[in-house]
């Protein structure tokens, strides 16, 4: 039955996406070009990465509001390590990734050891990480002039066409898809999402698995930060402001239940694409950016409403009881 639901949701998304593409092909200048197709993917990489890693978190019935701030913090740290500590970019990048994982670890610690609701914990670290980023740079500091070799990661093109960050995006997508859909970890995530207690009684190491989800989230956020810095060519404390909401939007648009248990990585990717295409398509159609925001919201509501109505029709009662877990 779950599969059926997914099926319905994915179809709906695919249609939306197809529709967008068709429309913008008409209205947008140079929309349907190969270059733009890659551009869409290129510009949605950071959000995409965050959304990807948000999926397992949401499947466990949790949420991570701190990814955007974590991106900012990691960007700054990357800059500091490279410029002030004089590390070679690769080493600095490595340390940054470790830091990301550590930050995720902090969330994980509070969530699993003190059984605090993820929303609250990550709301706190949301401010904390951003704050640290600003404190580290006294707000004004701005790291730039990274070596070409590193910038290539975000600005270069393989064979002149394929954006350099695309392989990373693809790799992470596949990795997380496998994790969620083909490993026992993914199975545990769902079990925890549906019923943490049930999972615990079945001998699933709930805390370990949750920790994994949040640490992973921190780690990939750091990775996104690296790509971001390379693409924008600068690291500043305000990097990635508001990305967390975009990522969550994409995941939910992808049909994951905020209450946990359900959700799939490929649908999340669809969600990411739907949003990116919308944004870029509108700009190419000479429409102001606000419209993208409005339509995003509208789209989200529309998709959810259709899904809810469909469910009402097929007379499957909504899960009142689980209304807590999500928030």
- Cα pseudo-dihedral 4, 278, 245, 197, rounded to 10: 10
Least Cβ distance, residue 309 to other proteins (angstroms)? 7
CB nearer to other proteins: pick between 85 and 208: 208
Helix (H) / strand (E) element for 198: namely helix 196-201
Taking the C-alpha atoms of residue 100 and residue 104, their distance in angstroms, rounded to an integer, is: 6
- Smaller CB separation from other proteins, 7 or 94: 7
Separation CA 46–CA 247 (nearest Å): 9
Nearest distance in Å: CB 68, other proteins: 11
Q: Which residue has the tokens 């394929």?
A: 162
Q: 96 or 249: whose CB is closer to other proteins?
A: 249
At its nearest, how many Å lie between other proteins and the CB of residue 94?
Answer: 23
Nearer to other proteins among residue 92 and residue 260 (C-beta):
260
Cα 186 to Cα 213: distance, rounded to the nearest angstrom = 10
> Could you tell me which residues come within 8 angstroms of residue 128 by beta carbon, excluding any fewer than 6 positions away?
66, 69
CB of 86 to other proteins, least distance (A): 19
Largest CA distance in the chain: 63
Residue 143: CB minimum distance to other proteins, A: 9
Q: Which residue has the tokens 């359900």?
A: 262
Tokens representing 13 are 């998304």
Residue 188 or 221 with smaller CB distance to other proteins: 188
């Amino acid at each position: 039955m779950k599969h059926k639901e997914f099926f319905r949701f994915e179809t709906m998304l695919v249609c939306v996406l197809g529709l967008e593409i068709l429309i913008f092909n008409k209205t947008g200048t140079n929309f349907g070009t190969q270059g733009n197709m890659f551009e869409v993917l290129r510009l949605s990489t950071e959000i995409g990465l965050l959304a990807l890693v948000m999926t397992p978190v949401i499947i466990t019935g949790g949420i991570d509001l701190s990814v955007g701030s974590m991106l900012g913090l990691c960007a700054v740290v990357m800059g500091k390590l490279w410029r002030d500590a004089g590390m070679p970019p690769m080493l600095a990048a490595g340390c940054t990734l470790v830091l990301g994982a550590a930050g995720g670890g902090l969330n994980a610690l509070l969530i699993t050891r003190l059984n605090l609701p993820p929303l609250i914990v990550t709301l706190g670290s949301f401010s904390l990480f951003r704050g640290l980023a600003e404190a580290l740079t006294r707000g004004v500091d701005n790291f730039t002039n990274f070596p070409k070799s590193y910038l290539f990661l975000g600005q270069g093109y393989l064979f002149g066409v394929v954006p350099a960050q695309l392989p990373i995006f693809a790799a992470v997508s596949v990795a997380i898809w496998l994790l969620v859909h083909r490993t026992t970890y993914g199975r545990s995530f769902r079990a925890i999402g549906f019923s943490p207690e049930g999972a615990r009684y079945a001998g699933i190491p709930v805390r370990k698995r949750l920790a994994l989800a949040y640490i992973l989230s921190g780690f990939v956020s750091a990775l996104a930060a690296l790509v971001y810095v390379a693409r924008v060519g600068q690291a500043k404390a305000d990097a990635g402001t508001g990305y967390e909401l975009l990522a969550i939007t994409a995941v939910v648009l992808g049909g994951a239940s905020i209450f946990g248990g359900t959700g799939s990585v490929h649908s999340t990717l669809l969600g990411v694409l739907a949003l990116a295409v919308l944004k870029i398509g509108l700009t190419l159609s000479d429409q102001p950016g606000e419209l993208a925001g409005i339509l995003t919201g509208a789209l989200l509501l529309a998709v959810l409403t259709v899904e809810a109505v469909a469910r009402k029709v097929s007379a499957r009662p909504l899960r009142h009881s689980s209304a807590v877990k999500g928030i």
